[in-house]
Amino acid sequence: MSRLADLIQNCPPTLADMAIAGIASDSRDVGPGYLFAALPGSRRDGRVYIDQAVDNGAAIILAPKGTYSPVPLLVSDDPRRELALMASRLAAKQPRTVAAVTGTAGKTSTAWFVRAIWTELGKRAGYLGTLGLYAPDVEPKYSLTTPDPVTLSAELKALADAGVDHLALEASSHGIDQRRLDGVTLTAAAFTNLGRDHLDYHRDMDGYFEAKARLFETLLPGNGTAVIHAGSEWGQKMIQRAKDRGLKLITYGTPHADLALISRQPAPGGQKLDISVFGKFVTIQLPVAGTFQADNALAALGLVIACGGDADAATDALNRLPGVPGRMQTVGSLNGAPVIVDYAHKPDALASVLEGARPMVSGRLIVIVGCGGDRDAGKRPIMGEIAARLADIAIITDDNPRSEDPATIRAAVLAGCNGPGQAAEIGDRRVAIQKVIEDLKAGDMLVIAGKGHESGQIVGFETLPFNDAEVAQDVIRSLGGEVRA
C-alpha cells in the first residue's frame, strides 16, 4: 500500500492519505483499493469502463476534468503522463542507467548492440524493445516496442531486483507521444533517422518528428546526453533541439561527426570499418553486414560512452558485436547463395538493406516483400518502387494483411514496381519463400524482408504461426543446403 500523496505531486489534501494498493489502466486488471486510469484514446475511451473498474474494487479514478465517477476523482490535464509518473513512484525501482533509442529504423539493432557492449564491459545489462525483454537471470519474454507505463514500471522494478543496473530500450513514437516513458529516468537518448512510417497515426512528417523530439525536449533530463545521427535534415533539426535545450551532445555517422565513419568495406562475415572516435582513428572488423548496421554500431557506441563507458574498451567491443535476430540475419544458403531475413518493413529500411546487400552479390539480388494491412497505405507503392529498383527480382507477397484484402495490398505494392528489376506476385508467403529458394544459383542472394523476428502472421483477426527464418531453413534443409543457427 502507498499513500496517494506519495504518488502524485500537488495531491488534493482530502485525498492525501488514501491508500493505493495498485494502479491499472485496464479495468480487468483492477483489484480492491486500486487507482484506475480512465484514459481517452483514438480507438477506445477508458472512461466507459469506469463502472466496471469500480465493480472490481477501484477506489479512485484518474481522468480528465468533467469525467463522471462514482468514487473519488483525481483530475489531470495530462492523465497519461500522470499515470506514468505514478506507476514509476509506486514501483520505486529501476535500473540505475537507462539509455533510450528512437528513430524510424535502427532502434532494435542499436539497443541490442548497446546491451552487448555493456555486457562486454562487465555490466549486468538488459534490452527491452521489439524483440522482447532480455537480461541476466530474467525470463525472456515478448513485449510491445514500448510497453504501457504500468507494465513498463513493473518490468523495470523486476530488472532492478534481479541486479540489472544498465538497460537499453527502444522508444517508439507512439510510446513517446502516449507518455509511456514519462516515468523512466534516462541517462542518454539516441536519434537514428526519420523516414516515412506511422503516418496513419501522426498524419504528417512534422508531427512524426515532433513525437520523436519530445524524447529530447521533455524526457531526457537536462544533464543527459543526446546521441544524434548528423547526416540528414531531420538529424540536424534534432541536433538544434538538443542544443537549444542545453543537452550534452554526441554526433555520429558523418565524416566530421564525433563518431565518424571514414570508410567501410564488405568483408567475410561482416565489414571492415575505419572510424574516428573523437579524433582517434581506429579500424574495426564489425561482424555484421550493412552500412546501416555500421551507423547503428556507432549510435550504440555513442550511448555507451554517454553513459560513462570507457571509449577505448567500448570501441574494441564493436569487433565482437552479436547479430540481431531478424536483422540482416543469414539463416542459411543453397548453392552458396545466402538467404537473409530482415525486419525492413518501411521504405528507408528496405532501401538500406538492399543497398547494403548489393556489394555482396555477384549474381542476382532477389527480395521477397509485402506490406501490412490497416497501416499507412501510402507507403505501399513506394515499397514496390524501391524493391524493383534496387533488386534484380522483386517478389511481392503477403505480410500481415490483418483485416484488409491481401490481394488489394499486393496490387498497391505492385503498382510501384516500375523497374528496372523484374516483379512478380506470389500471394502465399510460404510458397514465395519455397519457390525463390528452389531457384537460387551461385552468386545470388535472397532477402526476405518485412517480418524479421516475428513468429506469427496476422490474417484477419487471427495470428497464424509463421517465422520467416524457420520457413526458409526448412526449405533449405529439404534441398540439402546449409542452415545457419
Question: What is the Cα–Cα distance from 155 to 161, expressed in whole angstroms?
Answer: 10
What pLDDT, on the 0 to 100 scale, is given for residue 267?
A: 82
Q: Report strand pairing: 73-75 vs 19-20.
A: unpaired
For cell 514519462, name the residue. Answer: 182
Question: What is the Cα–Cα distance from 254 to 231, expressed in whole angstroms?
Answer: 6
146 is in an annotated binding site: yes
Nearest to 6 by CA among 106, 89, 122: 89
Question: What is the Cα–Cα distance from 430 to 325, expressed in whole angstroms?
Answer: 20
Q: Are 251 and 271 in contact (CB under 8 A)?
A: no
Question: What is the Cα–Cα distance from 407 to 371, expressed in whole angstroms?
Answer: 11
What pLDDT, on the 0 to 100 scale, is given for residue 42?
A: 64
27 is in an annotated binding site: yes
450 is in an annotated binding site: yes
399 is in an annotated binding site: yes
Q: Report strand pairing: 166-170 vs 125-129.
A: parallel
What pLDDT, on the 0 to 100 scale, is given for residue 10?
A: 86
Question: What is the Cα–Cα distance from 350 to 361, expressed in whole angstroms?
Answer: 16
What pLDDT, on the 0 to 100 scale, is given for residue 356?
A: 85
Q: Cell numbers of 121, please?
A: 564491459
What pLDDT, on the 0 to 100 scale, is given for residue 24?
A: 96
258 is in an annotated binding site: no
402 is in an annotated binding site: yes
Q: Cell numbers of 298, please?
A: 556507432
107 is in an annotated binding site: yes
Which positions ≥6 away from 280 have C-beta within 8 Å? none
What pLDDT, on the 0 to 100 scale, is given for residue 250?
A: 98
Counting every residue written for the chain, the total comes to 485
pTM: 0.83
105 is in an annotated binding site: yes
172 is in an annotated binding site: yes
DSSP-derived 3-state class of residue 144: coil
178 is in an annotated binding site: yes
Question: What is the Cα–Cα distance from 8 to 177, expressed in whole angstroms?
Answer: 21
∠400-404-408 over CA atoms, to 5°? 95
106 is in an annotated binding site: yes
265 is in an annotated binding site: no
52 is in an annotated binding site: no
Nearest to 394 by CA among 413, 415, 421: 421
Per-residue pLDDT of the chain (485 residues; tens, 9 = 90+): 899 999 998 899 999 999 999 999 999 999 999 999 999 876 788 999 999 999 999 999 999 999 999 999 999 999 999 999 999 999 999 999 999 999 988 999 999 999 999 999 999 999 999 899 999 988 887 666 678 899 999 999 999 999 999 999 999 998 999 999 999 999 999 999 998 666 666 678 899 999 999 999 999 999 999 999 999 999 999 999 999 999 999 999 999 999 999 999 988 778 999 999 999 999 999 998 888 899 999 999 999 999 999 999 999 999 999 989 888 888 999 999 999 999 999 898 899 899 988 988 999 999 999 999 999 899 999 999 999 999 999 999 999 999 999 999 999 999 999 888 899 999 999 999 999 999 999 999 999 999 998 999 999 999 999 999 999 999 999 999 999 87
